[in-house]
Amino acid sequence: MLRQVQHERTGEGFAVEAVDLVKDFGETRAVDGVSLKVPAGSIYGLLGPNGAGKTTTLRILLGIIDPSSGTRRVLGRDRPLDAAAEVGYLPEERGLYPAMHTREAIAFMGALRGLPLGEARLRADRLLGEHGLGDWAKRPIRNLSKGMAQTAQLLGTIIHDPRLIILDEPFAGLDAINQARLEELIRREARNGATIIFSTHVIAHAERLCERIAIIAEGKVAFEGSVDEARGRLRPIVRLRTRAPDGPWRAAIPTDARRQGDEWIFALPEGGPEPLLKALIDGEAGIETLAIERPGLHDAFVAIAGDAAAAAMGTVEAQA
């Protein structure tokens, strides 16, 4: 399974580089100046609400569509289709030939990416066995459950040991167990040297898996960097519970602090925890509990992409 890593061919260590991508559909600008650099061998998340331009960006990177303007380089090639044999792709809207046998469907996807058919069939058998679908190898896709069909398509995506795997909303429609399995599969592929790019609107997956992320909102990249860098854009969150409901201590907390139950929640003031603690004690707050938390990616996302984008994404959280 361990593939030969050839990232030196990609130049500067990036599996994918996109510069100022623009895509117009009629009067609508779906992608507006997107620039990305995906380090080879990393797990890279594309975050954004529905309609933000994630799928269009991925389709441009794959060469399914050409951009209205801008350039992209995939595995060192200017034309993404030239690298097709080294790329795996799982589209958002899953698609397999319903009448095809599971094994043949997976082998077909491998053959399409350059594997000889005999080799592709052997690999399909092995992958199906490894993922508990061995008994379904010779049954038509239409007989598989939705989860099984998604697994089959994912196996077709990685059957040729691609160096770059692009997954569009891979967790959508999966139950908690299958989401955990998919996370593990993504980690394993990355350990074996593959670069993985996936889009999601479930921030928890990105937080758990990604080394780097890009937050896309309204067709633009609002942020690109590591998850820590995204979190670093926010000050730590303070959760405070006091015995005194009011008093001089209130001057110590920011005016935009919000009340949640009997807790006050606010960003740690610029001075840091010590002056805050002193002001609370001096102001006779009667501290019951005080917690200083590192902000989550969700908080960072809200801050970076704006409340509107966060609202569009909803409060979807991973089931896992």
Partner 1 sequence: MRMLRSAYVIARRDFAATVLSKTFIFFLLGPLFPILLGGVFGGIGARVATQTAQPVVAVIGSDADFVRYSIARNGLAEAVGDAQVVKLIYVPPVQHYGPATPEHILKEPRTSVRAVLYGSFEEPRLAGKIGREDPVARQMRVIVRNAQSPKRDGPTLQMVRTSAPSGNLVRDRALTAQIGQMILFFLTILLSGMLLSQLIEEKSNKIIEVIAAAAPIDALFLGKLFAMLAASVIGIVVWVGAGALLIEYVKQGGVATLPPPAVGWPAFLALGIAYFAMNYLLLGAVFLTIGAQAATVREVQTLSMPVTFLQVLFFGFASTAIGTPNSTGGLAAAIFPLSSPMTMLARAAELDELWPHAVALGWQALWVAVILHLGARMFRRTVLKSGPRVRWWRRAKA
| Residues that bind partner 1 in the complex, under the rule CB under 8 A | 24-26, 59, 62-69, 81, 84, 87, 89, 91, 93-100, 108-109, 111-114, 117, 156
User: Whose Cβ is closer to partner 1: residue 120's or residue 204's?
Assistant: 120
In whole angstroms, the minimum distance from the beta carbon of 10 to partner 1 comes to: 19
User: Whose Cβ is closer to partner 1: residue 1's or residue 117's?
Assistant: 117
Per the listing, tokens 């038509």 go with 140
CB 59 within 8 A of CB 65: yes
User: Whose Cβ is closer to partner 1: residue 84's or residue 238's?
Assistant: 84
Euclidean distance between the first and the last CA atom of the chain, given in angstroms as a whole number: 27
User: Whose Cβ is closer to partner 1: residue 145's or residue 255's?
Assistant: 145
CA pseudo-torsion sign 108, 112, 118, 121: negative
User: Whose Cβ is closer to partner 1: residue 28's or residue 255's?
Assistant: 28
In whole angstroms, the minimum distance from the beta carbon of 193 to partner 1 comes to: 21
Measured between alpha carbons, how far is 51 from 289 in angstroms, rounded to an integer?
A: 41
User: Whose Cβ is closer to partner 1: residue 140's or residue 286's?
Assistant: 140
In whole angstroms, the minimum distance from the beta carbon of 97 to partner 1 comes to: 6
In whole angstroms, the minimum distance from the beta carbon of 212 to partner 1 comes to: 22
In whole angstroms, the minimum distance from the beta carbon of 78 to partner 1 comes to: 15
Neighbours of 65 (CB within 10 A): 13
In whole angstroms, the minimum distance from the beta carbon of 62 to partner 1 comes to: 4
Measured between alpha carbons, how far is 148 from 318 in angstroms, rounded to an integer?
A: 20
Helical spans, DSSP H, in 52-198: 54-62, 102-112, 117-130, 146-158, 176-191
CA-to-CA separations, 142 to 102, 105, 138, 145, 249, in angstroms, rounded = 9, 11, 12, 8, 65
Measured between alpha carbons, how far is 285 from 272 in angstroms, rounded to an integer?
A: 18
Per the listing, tokens 């679908």 go with 133
Nearest partner of 83 among 74, 92, 96, judged by Cα: 74
Nearest partner of 252 among 209, 284, 206, judged by Cα: 284
User: Whose Cβ is closer to partner 1: residue 25's or residue 184's?
Assistant: 25
In whole angstroms, the minimum distance from the beta carbon of 258 to partner 1 comes to: 43
